Structures are given as C-alpha cells and as structure tokens.
Chains A and B, each alone.
Chain A
C-alpha cells in the first residue's frame, strides 16, 4: 500500500524533559521519525518542551515549538498550525497520554485532525488495564490474575482472594511510577494509596505476583495491511520483579528453546494483530522457568526504551519504519537501510550477543535505597556487543563509568558467608558482583540460583569470569590464557593487576602474540547479505578472526568521542553537541567516526557518522579503534567529562586533539595553574585553597571564614561538592569525597552570596562570540544544572555584563581556547568573580543555541578547523539580546528514588530540563513551571517551614501567596514570624508532635506546595528530610530555595493558562 496522500502536515509530539523512565530514547526515536517524515515530503510541526534534544532543531522539523506539553498547548498549537495529522506514538507515555486526552475530548475530530501511527481505540485497549485484560482473555492470551481497583479497600479485599504477594501497577504512568510489590496488607495499603494518586485515572492494577519468572520481551512491528514481524526478543537476566529498565538485559534470549521462543513470538504477533497496532509495539512476558506457562505482563503500543535498545541491538530502525507505516506504507515497501537489498518485512538475525546494563543514580543519591523494584530508577543505560556473553557483559560493565571494570569492582570480601547469602537475596544494582563473590567463596551455583532465581546459564557465565580471574592469579600467562582472557574482554590493566604485572607488559605480550581486537559488523542479517552500513563492534577471536573494519583514507578523518550513558550531571545535551559536531565535520568534507556506548541516543544511530563503533569509552577500547582507523584528529570538547577524560590517553596514542589543547584543559582544572592565569588576567575569584587532608581543609576553612565550598577537583555535576558551615562538616565531607576519588586534590573556597551567571562562548584563538548571558534564579550554592536559568540575564547591570564579556574574552585567550568555553560567574553588586571555567561544551549549549538562533556547535567545530568568527559573518563579542525571554527549568525525578534527599545544593540532582519561552518574563516563567509539571493552583493550600536565617526573607513571599488566596500552614517559628508580619498563618505541629501534624496535612492530599529550606550543614535534619520525602512521594511540589519560591509566586501572579503565546523556535534567526 503506498503512502496515504491525505497526509501533508504532521504534528509530532515529543516526550518532554528527561526523567527517570522517559529518557533520551525518545529523542532518538523522534529524531529518526521526523527525518523519515521529511524524507517523504511531509511538513513536520514538532512540539517538545525539552530544549536539549536534537529533535527540536530546526533542521529536523519545519516548525519547532519548545512549549509545555499540556492539552491546552497542543490545542492552541493545532489551531495555529492546522496539521492534518498527529503522530503521538514516538513521544513516549507523555505524548501518548496527551493524544488520548485530546481524542477523548473530541478535539481532534472537531478540527479534522487524525491520529496516525495508531488509533485511540488501540491505545485504550493496550493502556487501559481492564480493556487490556479483556482483550487478552478474548484471544486466549494469559495474564496474571488481577483486578483494577479504584479504592484501597477494594484492593485489600481482592488480594485476600488471590493471596500475597501482589504486584501493583498504576494505570497511565511511566517507568512504573507508584507501583511495587506488596507482601502484606500494610505494604499493600501504603503502595496502593500512593499509586491511586499518581495514576492519571485513579486506577491501579492489583495482580498475582509472578516474581521470579523469566522476563522476556518482544519488539514487534505491524503495518496497516496486517503484516507483522518481530524485530528482536530480549531476556532480562533479573527475573520478573525488577523493572525492565533497571534489569540487565541480553538480546537475543539465551535460555529459551525454539519452542518457547516461537510460542511467545506467535503470542506477540497475535496480540499486535488483535490490538490493531500500526507501527511498533513492545510486549513483555513472564515465562515460568519450569514449564510453558506464561503471562503477558504489559504491552506498550508505541516506541519505547526497549525499542530503542532493540534498534541498536539489531540495526533495524524501528522508529523510522514506524513513521513510514504511519504514512500508509507496508513493511514490504520499505527498504532495509542497512543492507540496501532487503526490505523492512524481515526479521533481524543476530550473530552476536548484546548486553544492556542500566545506569543507576545511587552515586548521586547516597541516602537512597539501592533496591530495585517494579518502579524504574535508572537514568540511562549502556549497551555492548560481543560474540560471547562474557565479553559483552565485561564491556558493558566498563562502559558504565561508575568506577567499575570487572566483577571485582565492588568489594564484598568483608561479609561473612551468612551475610553474603543475605545480600544475595537483596535485589539491587550490585547483584552480579555479589554473585561473583559468592562463587569465589564456593557457594554452590545451584544455591545462588535458588536464592536469586537468576537462570543457571547466567550464573555459570559469571562463574566462567570468576574462574578466569582465578586462572590469571594463579597460572602462568600463556598465549592461550591471555587470548581466552581477552576473548572474555578482560581489560589489559585488570589482567595486569591479577597477574602482578604492568599494563604495558600485557600490551606488549599481546602484540607479541598478535592478540588484537577485530571488528565485526552489525548488519541485521548475520552476514547472509552484504551490508552497506559500517556499524561495528569489537571481538577477540584469535589470529584467524577476520577484521571487517577497513580504514579508508580518501578524506581527512576525525574521531568524535561520545558521552556514554545518561546520568545526572551528564545528560542528553552532550549527545546533542556530539551529533552537531559530527554533522559539521561532515559538511566540511571530513570522514567522521563516532565511538559511543549509549543505545538511547541519536549519536549511535547508524546514519549519523560515516562509521559507528559501539564500544566502551576507555583508553584501551579507543586505542584499538585508533590503531585501525588512524584518524587525523579527535574532538573531545563535545562529549562531556567522558570524552575529556580520554584526552591524555589519546595524546599518548599520537592522536592530535583538535581544538583547545590538553595542556590548556588541564590549566583550567588545576587550581594553581588556574590561579596564575586569573592573576595574569586580573580576574578575581572567591578566595580558596587546594588541600589534601581534613586537617589542611579545616585550617583553610577557618582562614577563609565559614561558609566554605568543599569539592574534589575533576568533578562532574558537582559530585561530592558541599557547603560547609563548621569544622565538623568539613571533616565529614572530606571523608565522603575520599571514598569517591582519592587521586585528586580537594578544593576549599570561600562561599559567596550573589547572583550566579553562566556564559557559553566560542573562541577562535583571537575573537570570542558570546551568544548570551544566562542568569540563575537561585543564588550561588545550588548547582547550575539544578538552577532555573534565565536568558537574557535580567537583574545585573550593563556594566556587569560588559565585565563578564571582557573576562570571558581574557580567559578564552589566556587558555588558548579553540572552540567552546563555559564560564560561571558570581556577581555581587558590580563585582564579578569567576567560580568555574570549563574549556569545553556545556549543558546549556543546546538551550542557548536554540533561543539565540546561533548554531554554537557548528561554529565551534568550524573554528576548530581554522575558520575565524569574523569570516563566518559574526561580529565578535557579546551578541545583542533577543527580544524574548527563555527560561530553562530543571526537572527532577525524586519520586522515583525512594530515600533520596531532595534538597538542592552544590551537587546536581536534576535529570532533565524544559524550556519556557515568551515575550515577557512572567509568561516564560509560567511556561517553564508548567513544562516541569508544576501546574498550580489546585487546592490553594501550602506549607512553609524555613530555617531561622530565612525568616525575614520568607515574609514577602508568603504575603504574595496569601494574596493569591493561599491558605498557609507553618511550623512554630515560621508561623510566629508570619503572624507578626500580619500574614494569616495556621500553626501546625511538627512531626514528632501529636497529630494533626505536618505529615497529616501532606498525606491529606490537599497541599499544592511545600516551601522548606533545610539548614546548611550535615547535622541531620531528620524532620525536614522526612517531610520532603513524603511530600514528593505524595506528589506535592517541594521547593527548597526561597528564590525558586519567589519565582513560582511571580509566575502564578501573572498568567493565564489559555492565553499562552506559542513561539516557533525555527523562526529565531541569529542577528
């Protein structure tokens, strides 16, 4: 069936800010889909509130709206742009929910807009718990005994009939928000109450617990003619009970025979057919490990994280094909872009093994519970490919960038056997390391299997790796043993540690034996057909192994290093930068090579660079690629810390670093060198010292005067950074820092109160270009990534702006920056201090590029290639300010991470961001809050409990909330101050006081917002912590900074939800 000729203009809805459960995979899917639609001549209108995405680029869509994802906005947008179709299945759950609301309201019908990709009826059948269950029963597909309940009592009564434990799944939530397993009535009541509140429709599914069964997924495609195929199946190493996003996953399934494989495949095809899905779909199964019994767990009638993984694991571009199907094409009409010979109507065959490991944020949330449940907690993931499972697992482990490189990286040797066995039963992110330790202690594999329910096959594979560790420790390192260790992807330095040699020894030995990595191609068809797309992974297969990656040298060649897994502090922004850098090099006639390991991203799509190496980003892995490709240079300034960290290793390999030199990057990070430069440039910075011990730190702090900022050098996203107010604080912080990174010195700085300002600039060695100055709403002390950022800066003087531009110029020149530089300043009155300089691309680059219309990354890339800013038509210096205000709002995923402290500070905690753009400040701010999901007012009740120092400052804010009609509850001290100032505050009891107290208010579900400023220092503010956690877990907004509170009240005072002005970002041109 050819394309539907009635479709001309398509509205694509993106997924909004990156949160846990909805991450970069939707940028990948959306970008691929938009490109696929444009290929077909469609006019594409894009809506997504996330400015860090590639899909919101004007070269991806024709009209780009970075606006809040609300029903009102979509309605307005449809009225304005008049698309004939909406494609909602590429924007994750957020996009799907929006489309459903519009459909249910009859708005789409009324305005002659059709849903393409999948009908509303289909979405409802798949997403609505009861309809789904009925549909499955109709076609004889088993589901676990379950009931949809709308009240807690109902749930308790039903559970009595099926018995504990039960799984709870709220309807219409993503990443399993609010779900969990209840083992008794107490847990059931707790989880159910929360789940009912989080569900969009107030429904929770109570289900027979099938924890411990194998969890298997199928990715299925279907077209409008009814043709169906499966792209891939995947097996979770963690049995049912852990969200698939938090599980270690292997593709294809390893422990299923053909009978089981085909049984579930046929079931998946029956389901997609019955649901009538046109496009991609994910079906999750629980398979009984000792029989053919299975249950359908869930169907996602859209592209998902799993489909992104399946696309990268097989080479089959699911989102691209789904977009073509939405336009009416059938699978046999869509060519397979990888082979160029076959069509989309085939099933990929793998001749390798793929392992995905989630990237969990417990390094950021040290107080959080590490246990994994049906509620997803991972912020990102890594994938690896190898021709054996052991190697794929080892590669994935070292791709995590979590200080892990083998199964020895977490130390459980301190546990006695009973403790270790207890630990095995705890399902957390370190489980495979515990299993390895158990095997080292000779705990039987059968016993480990019985405790963990992990299939014996995987446990045996872990045992094989442990046996190799032991062999390397005890046996002579023969050629055979070394080859076998490399086949399992033991890094050279791990081998060296185990045999008591040096890494250089091992490398030399390997070279002597000619044990080198060979590269194989991902071609969708297990080599049955010749493939045209160079997408590679490495293997060590011995001297006869064919290397398929052939170096070409007809063009100049550049290596672009990606940014690895998405984690707090290093998000999708760096993928945006890597991709734009790659495109810019391509335009300049370069051959481009990307190395990355993140399956969710655009950069690892096979048609972004000329060659894609899906590999860990470690010196050894990169060197293997360098040895074959011999690039003319490498770019590290766009791939975040991941790429920067490889600089030194690349130089040792003889690879030229393009742009700012490594010495200058070092100079910016090295305190003493940097101080010299500042002095030379006559730029002030807060006073500070470099120390190595707690004693030195205390001495420095007392000399500077408290409060001080303590942090390790070489950090990412403020990891390990704290504000200390006393000697005790300093001591505790240094202890924590030393656990994380011991090699680098610790910085102690005077903490300055002032406006925090951020600037990204491009420098060509002579001139600089500053697209704009961003101002943070929260004062210094809150990590820049967690601050609300306003462009253009609103409250600082022109004089200060000039100083900032001048300091930026001096610094860029002194550091010999060629390319990007990011600088953070503190402005106190007219005084400007530099607090941090990063001679590389930053988190704010996509945002500032979009709102100023200046293509910063392409400019920086051209500068790296020797172009001058002046020659490219740019007047150097600070660019004129735009006429609109653009506000970047951080978005958090606190409700997903039980036990995490949500108070903001110098350590970054947000997972994503959204944009509010408007012609005036208040509207922009309002849009930004709405985009971040803070949609107020609802009940007009609030709680204020602030530390003593904030009493004075909170009064005007409280007064403004009161004027908006808010009823204010406050704890004793705060209430007293408010009353003294004529504000009607209702005093309420603290936690330890009798009910009704604060907690009852919060659990009463009638509170819009809590303003709670925690006192600084570590003295455990248990009360505040418990209040904040409970508020977050009951869906109440919590603000821990008065600046944020003031911004919120300002936005509420000045806005009207139905009268937002929508701005097409694509029309913003640089001046």
Chain B
C-alpha cells in the first residue's frame, strides 16, 4: 500500500506503508544510529515523535524483546528507507514488520530518507503526517500540522506505580520521566537497590524513603512544560542527597536552579556525538537523544553550576557540575542502548558520590 509523509513546509514523500495504516501527526526527527532501532522505538524520550532512521537498512537482525528500553514502543511513527525481508539473528523472536503492526505504529518505507534528513537539518525539526490516504489535501493538512504540539508527554510515559529492583548496595531513587531500562539496570548491576518513582511523586515522599542517591532520568518533550516536576526537583536540590541526572533530568535540574533551556534546530539523535569531560580533557563518544539544550552561561554566571561536559562538534552544553553540591548532570546517555558505552564510568562516579559499593556494610 502507498503511504505519504507530508511535512509542514509542504514537502511530500511518497513511499510504502509499513506497520499500521492509521494516520498520524507528529514531530519528525532523525536518528543517525546504524544499529539499535528497537532501543530507539522503545525509548520513552521519543514519545510524541516520529523517527526517521538515516541508516537505510532496518530490521536486519529482527526484534529481540529483551532489548526493549521500556515496556513498549513510544514513537508515533517510523520512517525508513528499507525494511529487511527477513530478520537474521540468533536472538530474534519477531520481525520488525509484525512488531509495528502489533503496536499499531504507522510508518513509511522506500522514501529518500537522506533528503528528508537534509530538510530537517536545514529547516529544523518540524511536524509531519504519515497517511495512506492518496487524496490528501495539503491546504487542509498543513495548518493542522503547524498547529500541532506534542503536549505533556512525560505524564504519558512515566510508570504508574513505584517499583523496586533489589540490591545490596546504595539505595537509589530513580525518578522516571520516561526512563530507559538500562539506567536502572546499570545501577542495579553495580549493586544498587533501585526504587523507581512515578514522575509526579512529591520530593517529600522520595526523601522520606532515605535514598543514598537520586537519579533523574531521561524523558520526552519540552522540559519547560514540566512545571510541577521542576518544583519538586528544586526540593531535591536543596536536600543533601547526591543526585545524578541524565538528559531531561539534566534540563529539569537546570530549570529548577534558575537556569534556562532552549529548543535546538534539529537536536542530537544518534550514537556518535563526541563530548568532552572538561575536568580531564578526555573526549568520549556518546549516545544522544535530545531536542532541547541547557544554556550553561546563566547557571555559571549565577555561580550555581559550571559546565562539566561540552559537545565537541557544536560547543553546546553536555553536562553540569553543581557548585557546593553533590550533584552532576549530563545531557547525553551514559546508559547507552543504543550506542557506545564509553561514558558508563559516570555510573561509577555516581557510586562514589554515594559512598561506593561497600555502602551497605558501612
């Protein structure tokens, strides 16, 4: 079946329908990772977005459920050059075609994904529609695309109830704004007992559980829409509990302490972004997925935090260290999945902030 991708600037790409034939309007973004499509689809930070994979051959190694980064895929739509006819991998238990259908995710294949990427790069991220209706009317659709906003997506993706991953080490409170599973897993592997809290859990409740450390997770959407959460994070900041934050968590901490964020032209989404640890001068290749960025200058001028990481390509902020506080936050994803594991040492750093692995015996 034919499918169409219509962009708010009037561009129309003609391709083949994959997955659901449902019509969808969403923000269109691109991801440059060459592997990890399942992790991308199931990363809650993509809620409210349709993702275009720049790598043209997708689905080659099928679907392996244990690689999901959350309980289900969150993307609104999936845009690829070509889906593999067969999956081939010893762990594969499903095909990507079936996976999309099962989760009712519409998609389009066979389009010039490189051309689409260039449009998004030049004009910035924009909204679009995936439809199988051949008789689409641009005059009617484009105003709708322009008017579309993703809304409060954090509340949609966060867990409903508290959950605990048992461990003998430090107790970590993980604030789930749309957390990727590998954050909890990375902490749990280091011995932590991880308690996962719904995004809107009041700070008092978390602090009452006496965590040794707090982990603010990644998540989707515009950080400034998370007004309630920001207020709670301010309270967590005031406590003396060590805090490590990733991605949205990093942005929220900045907003909670008087900083600012702004939307980037087309964001960073992929597994090849170089970030420099300003403390050591070392460069790490990181996994990234963000459309907003922290303005580090404001916090620096106010003496609240100083930049800890910077993006080597475009100089944007990639992490903050909070002055006089046991808090550091990063924009990229040390938990990887998909992408390079080079910055997983940051979890070790967090462990040290909490007193190390031998905490329980103390």
Contacts and interface: CB of A to CB of B under 8 A. Distances in A.
Contacts of B282: 225-227
Interface in A435-472: 455-457, 460, 464
B54 A526 contact: yes
B56 A229 contact: no
B203 interface: no
A493 interface: no
Given A332-B312, A528-B117, A460 B86 contact: yes
A269 interface: yes
B100 interface: no
Interface string B283-310: 1110000000000000000000000000
Contact of B337 (A254, A258, A266, A349): A258
Contact of B285 (A229, A530, A546): A229
B263 interface: no
A345 B89 contact: no
B322 interface: no
Nearest to A388: B82
A352 B84 contact: no
A255 B88 contact: yes
Contacts of A529: 121, 313
B283 A541 contact: no
Contacts of A351: 32, 54-56, 113-114, 117
A262 B33 CA distance: 12
Interface in A480-532: 520, 525-530
B318 to A, nearest CB: 13
Given A225-B282, A347-B285, A546-B114, A257 B67 contact: yes
B106 to A, nearest CB: 19
Interface in B113-166: 113-115, 117-118, 121
A254 B58 CA distance: 9
A456 B115 CA distance: 31
Contacts of B110: 542
Interface size for chain B: under 10, 10 to 19, 20 to 34, or 35 or more residues? 35 or more
A228 B282 CA distance: 9
Q: Chain B at the A interface: mostly helix, strand, loop or mixed?
A: loop
B285 A520 contact: no
B112 A541 contact: yes
Contact of A258 (B32, B35, B276): B35
B283 A345 contact: yes
Interface in A255-277: 255-259, 261-262, 265-266, 269
Interface in A328-386: 330-332, 341-343, 345-353
Contacts of B13: 544
Interface in B31-65: 32-36, 38-39, 54-57, 60-61, 64
B324 interface: no
Contacts of B30: 528
A289 interface: yes
A341 B311 CA distance: 13
A294 to B, nearest CB: 13
Contacts of A526: 32, 54-55, 114, 117, 270
A547 to B, nearest CB: 10
A530 B121 contact: yes
B115 A545 contact: yes
Contacts of B81: 387-388
B36 to A, nearest CB: 4
A346 B35 contact: no
A291 interface: yes
Contacts of B111: 544
Nearest to B284: A227
A336 to B, nearest CB: 9
A389 interface: yes
Given A265-B340, A457-B88, A464-B85, A525 B32 contact: yes
B257 interface: no
A252 interface: yes
A546 B113 CA distance: 10
Interface string A245-258: 00000001111111
Contacts of A226: 282
A341 B113 CA distance: 22
A460 B339 contact: no
Given A332-B312, A351-B113, A545-B112, A388 B276 contact: no
A352 B82 CA distance: 11
A290 interface: yes
Contacts of B180: none
Contacts of B82: 387-388
B321 to A, nearest CB: 20
A259 B55 CA distance: 17
B181 interface: no
A349 B54 contact: yes
B63 to A, nearest CB: 10
A663 to B, nearest CB: 43
B272 A227 contact: no
B121 A346 contact: no
Contacts of A227: 282-284
B186 interface: no
Contacts of B33: 258, 349
B286 to A, nearest CB: 10
B88 A345 contact: no
A262 B341 contact: yes
Contact of B35 (A256, A330, A520): A256
Of B39, B64, B274, B337, which is in contact with the most chain A CB atoms at under 10 Å from its CB?
B274
B342 interface: yes
Interface in B263-284: 270-274, 276, 281-284
A457 to B, nearest CB: 4
A457 B281 contact: no
Contacts of B336: 262
A254 B56 CA distance: 11
Contact of A352 (B35, B56, B339): B56
Of A225, A229, A290, which is in contact with the most chain B CB atoms at under 10 Å from its CB?
A229
Contacts of B114: 351, 387, 520, 526-527, 546
Given A346-B285, A456-B86, A258 B54 contact: no
A345 B32 contact: no
B137 to A, nearest CB: 20
Interface in B313-347: 313, 336-342
A527 B111 CA distance: 15
B93 to A, nearest CB: 12
14 contacts: A262-B336, A262-B339, A269-B342, A343-B312, A347-B285, A351-B56, A388-B56, A457-B88, A460-B85, A460-B86, A526-B32, A526-B114, A528-B30, A544-B13
Give me the 6 closest cross-chain CB pairs, A-B, nearest first.
Answer: A258-B36, A457-B88, A347-B272, A526-B54, A546-B115, A258-B35
Given A346-B313, A351-B114, A353-B56, 7 more contacts: A256-B61, A257-B64, A258-B38, A261-B36, A456-B86, A526-B117, A544-B13
